[in-house]
Amino acid sequence: MGGRVLAARLALAFSLLAVCGASGNSWAGATFDAVKARGYVQCGVNVGLAGFSSPDSAGSWTGLDVDICRAVAAVMFGDVTKVKFMPLSTQQRFTALQSGEVDLLSRNTTWTLQRDTSNGMHFAPVTFYDGQGFLVAKKLGVKTAIELNGATVCVQTGTTTELNLSDYFRAHGITFKPVVIEALSEVSHAFFSGRCDAYTSDTSQLASIRAVDAPNPEDYIILPELISKEPLAPAVRHGDDQWFDLVRWTVYALLEAEEKGIGSKNVDKALASPDPTIQRMLGVQPGMGRALGVDERWAYNAIRLVGNYGEIFERTVGKYSPLRLDRGLNALWTQGGLMYAPPIR
Amino acid sequence: MPHHSLGAWFGDQRVRGVLVQLLVIGVVLSLGAWLAHNTIENLSQRGLASGFAFLGRQANFAIGESMIPYAASDTYGWAMLVGLLNTLKVGVAGLVLATLLGTLIGLARLSPNWLASRLAGVYVEAVRNVPLLLHLFLWYALITDGLPGPRSAFQPLGGVFLCNRGLVMTVPASHPAWTAAAVALVVAVVAAFWLWRRWWWAPALVPALPLLAWAGLGAPLAMDAPWLLGFNFRGGVTLSPEFLALLLGLVIYTAAFIAEIVRGGILAVSRGQGEAALALGLSRGQVMWLVVLPQALRVMVPPLTSQYLNLLKNSSLAVAIGYPDLVSVLDTTINQTGQAIEGVALIMMVFLAISLCTSALMNWYNRRIALTQG
């Protein structure tokens, strides 16, 4: 695997050299136009993370990150099937976006200053507010993360997780030994076989792993501390503001739809709504679609075909999924959460 | 000087040869320049960071095992050195053990003993036809799943513990005398290797020199024994499950190829040599050691070099089972700095340097044993 991944990484690194050289200097609208001409969106997703992006038994991709890609396809083409998913490892993801292999990276990626600047990415609105935590076996008898002094901690390579982990232990003057493994499945295997005392990752991911990989999920607990802020957001590369706007407002439309109580079931009825804000969003009053450069029915299509943010959340990671995560910070601002969309007008 | 027309000048085969070579070099160079220019242009166009300045910045990540003192507050450059030493540690141990095991299996395969030769044959066919990555996963799973936790570790010998946190051993407590003894051991081995043909007693240097160094500096006897505290063992020396799995995988896999090289090399020595030596009254062991192996070495060294290079490069599969080798450390570096091109270039340069050094050393050895023929 190391060899193959290295080869893939090399290929990506060198496609930066060649592929992009061909596209010349003009970048305004380049991605938007390329996607339109190609007829589908290339979307980079996780290779397998239950609830966010994983192929089901029929081979079709499911999850919150995946549904964001579908919503973008619905906005662009009025068709959720006009999207191709490219599973990317944590190390491949940025190079794949930078080199133009994918148009959109929707792969539980934390928004940080360095990624926003020196990695050449623009982050769309946060689709999931997460934080890094620890998963431990109950029989260890550990109640808080401070008690992990001297512990061996399993962690996946190529993430901000390694940095947070080291910062947390340094800040509290306690020690640990990391075991850094490349593939998520191998990290889980090492942890559940007892190689490590604790497993650190974003808590949503820990919940997903506990639900899917643990021999008995009841034997493991997630410690109460969150040692970092992990706002997970879709990202596009620098250089095409039109494409960035489109992705950004797709996410906002999903949030706005939930706030207005419009979902996949009642969106057709909502077309007759007397509320001017709903009329503008759904394209009954034209203008928003033209501003984005797409069909006036853009938001209508996304809501009808994918659902609003609340529907996506509950279906993929919330109460109708095996993960059973609470809305928490991911509730709308009107319900004590952080999800807030600027007005669509 | 006779007058040449342009046609005649171009018709000259030598001139044409030089021209074609110049053309090829020109094309290769301009292709390289174009790629480099494009990369720099694209990177700056998108505001991507470039250059190697990041090597001097604080790394901020931890590394599981290190041969030199390392903390998260050290630089990326220092972290890279930690990774390089880890790569060399598993590489050097792997080369020595794979050579010993491979030679043993190769000899066994030629043995007149039916059972030994069949067992060696099965080993070679079974091991070399399975991808190395699967070997690594197998050994790693056997160690982490098959062994008990630290609180109920096996204790095969006093002071030695085997558990899913690795092999924990009692070692002599740190003292200058032990360091001196280790240096003396290396010196003695090298000296014995050079001198044993001249002085029959030269091999005695190997135990004598380290013993003298140790005794001369106070003969310390204090031991550093591991004890269980909290989650894990403290003290002693630990060989991690990742290191053990990688070492086992590399040694067992490469030994299968080396065994075939040894077998091929021995079969290449004409039978008459062995028969003649037997007729002179040498024992089977002496025939192998004094007559057959020295001649077989000449055939074996070039393909052996390839296997050594393979082993060193295959050690980069470490990242799959979590051993913090050079590639693993630079992976993390790439992810934190976003400078993939620089990181991959460093990996390539280091492996190129290691491989060229190995190959130079083996070529020197090859010339040396070839010369003794004369």
**Model confidence pLDDT, tens digit, residues A158-188:** 667 888 999 999 999 998 999 998 888 889 9
Measured CA to CA, the distance from residue A101 to residue A44 in angstroms comes to: 8
A180, A184, A244, best to mutate vs chain B, most B CBs in 10 Å: A180
What pairs with residue A49 in β-bridges? A53
3-class secondary structure, B196 = coil
Half-sphere exposure of B5 (CA within 13 A, CB side): 3
Output the pLDDT for position B2: 53
**Model confidence pLDDT, tens digit, residues B18-35:** 889 999 999 999 999 998
Mean pLDDT of A202-212: 88
Stretch among A155-169, A224-238, B36-50, B293-307 having the lowest mean pLDDT? B36-50
CB contact under 8 A, A162 and B61: yes
Write down the mean pLDDT value for chain B. Answer: 88
CB contact under 8 A, A1 and B45: no
Question: What are the φ/ψ torsions at residue B186 (nearest 5 degrees)?
Answer: -60, -45
Question: What are the φ/ψ torsions at residue B70 (nearest 5 degrees)?
Answer: -145, 135
Measured CA to CA, the distance from residue A209 to residue A201 in angstroms comes to: 10
3-class secondary structure, B280 = coil
pLDDT band at A26 (very low <50, low <70, confident <90, very high): very low
Which residues between 299 and 328 in chain B have a beta carbon less than 8 angstroms from any beta carbon of chain A? 316-322, 324, 327-328
Other CB atoms within a 10 A radius of the CB of residue A66 amount to: 25
Proportion of chain A above pLDDT 70, given as a percent: 91
Which positions in chain A touch B64 (Cβ < 8 Å)? 177-180
Stretch among A34-38, B161-165, B335-339, B362-366 having the lowest mean pLDDT? B335-339
Contact indicator for A203, A130 with CB cutoff of 8 Å: yes
| CB proximity A92 to B under 8 Å | no
Mean pLDDT of B244-273: 94
Mean pLDDT of B157-164: 84
Q: How distant is the Cα of A187 from the closest Cα of chain B, in angstroms?
A: 8
Write down the mean pLDDT value for chain A. Answer: 88
Burial (CB count within 10 angstroms: exposed 0-12, middle 13-18, buried 19+), residue A336:
exposed
Output the pLDDT for position B44: 77
Contact indicator for A288, A280 with CB cutoff of 8 Å: yes
CB contact under 8 A, A194 and B149: yes
Of B137, B337, B340, the CB nearest to A13: B340
Q: Report whether pLDDT(B255) > 90.
A: yes
pLDDT band at B372 (very low <50, low <70, confident <90, very high): low
Mean pLDDT of A292-301: 95
Mean pLDDT of A259-279: 94
Q: How distant is the Cα of A284 from the closest Cα of chain B, in angstroms?
A: 38
Q: Report whether pLDDT(B96) > 70.
A: yes
Other CB atoms within a 10 A radius of the CB of residue A339 amount to: 26
The token duo for B320 is: 């799959």
Contact indicator for B163, B149 with CB cutoff of 8 Å: yes
CA separation, residue A252 to residues A126, A326, B86, B328 (Å): 10, 21, 48, 38
pLDDT band at B3 (very low <50, low <70, confident <90, very high): low
Q: Report whether pLDDT(A18) > 90.
A: no
pLDDT band at A16 (very low <50, low <70, confident <90, very high): very low
Q: What is the pTM of this model?
A: 0.75
Measured CA to CA, the distance from residue B297 to residue A174 in angstroms comes to: 54
Q: Report whether pLDDT(A2) > 70.
A: no
Q: How distant is the Cα of B106 from the closest Cα of chain A, in angstroms?
A: 28
CB contact under 8 A, B335 and A159: yes
CA separation, residue B116 to residues B108, B110, B254 (Å): 6, 9, 20
A121, A134, A175, A177, best to mutate vs chain B, most B CBs in 10 Å: A177
Q: DSSP class of residue A2?
A: H
Which residues between 142 and 181 in chain B have a beta carbon less than 8 angstroms from any beta carbon of chain A? 144-145, 149, 164-165
Output the pLDDT for position B194: 79
Which residues between 21 and 60 in chain B have a beta carbon less than 8 angstroms from any beta carbon of chain A? 34-35, 38-39, 41-43, 45-49, 60
Which ranges constitute the DSSP H helices of B269-339?
271-279, 284-286, 293-314, 326-337
Most confident range, picked from A61-65, B208-212, B284-288, B337-341 = A61-65
| CB proximity A159 to B under 8 Å | yes
Burial (CB count within 10 angstroms: exposed 0-12, middle 13-18, buried 19+), residue A314:
middle
pLDDT band at B289 (very low <50, low <70, confident <90, very high): confident
Of B61, B64, B337, the CB nearest to A179: B64
Mean pLDDT of A79-84: 96
Output the pLDDT for position A183: 84
Question: What are the φ/ψ torsions at residue B339 (nearest 5 degrees)?
Answer: -100, 75
Which has the closest alpha carbon to B262: B74, B123, B85? B123
Output the pLDDT for position A158: 63
Q: How distant is the Cα of B320 from the closest Cα of chain A, in angstroms?
A: 5
This model of the complex carries an ipTM of 0.74
pLDDT band at A23 (very low <50, low <70, confident <90, very high): very low
Length of chain B: 374
Output the pLDDT for position A251: 97
pLDDT band at B150 (very low <50, low <70, confident <90, very high): confident
Please report the number of interchain residue pairs, chain A to chain B, with beta-carbon separation below 8 angstroms.
168
Mean pLDDT of B58-79: 90
Which positions in chain A touch B325 (Cβ < 8 Å)? none
Which positions in chain B touch A239 (Cβ < 8 Å)? 45-46
Place of tokens 């028969």: B275
Output the pLDDT for position B293: 87
Output the pLDDT for position B230: 73
Helices B132-146 & B241-268 angle (0-180, nearest 10): 140
Output the pLDDT for position A24: 37
Q: Report whether pLDDT(A79) > 90.
A: yes
| CB proximity A7 to B under 8 Å | no
What pairs with residue A332 in β-bridges? A339
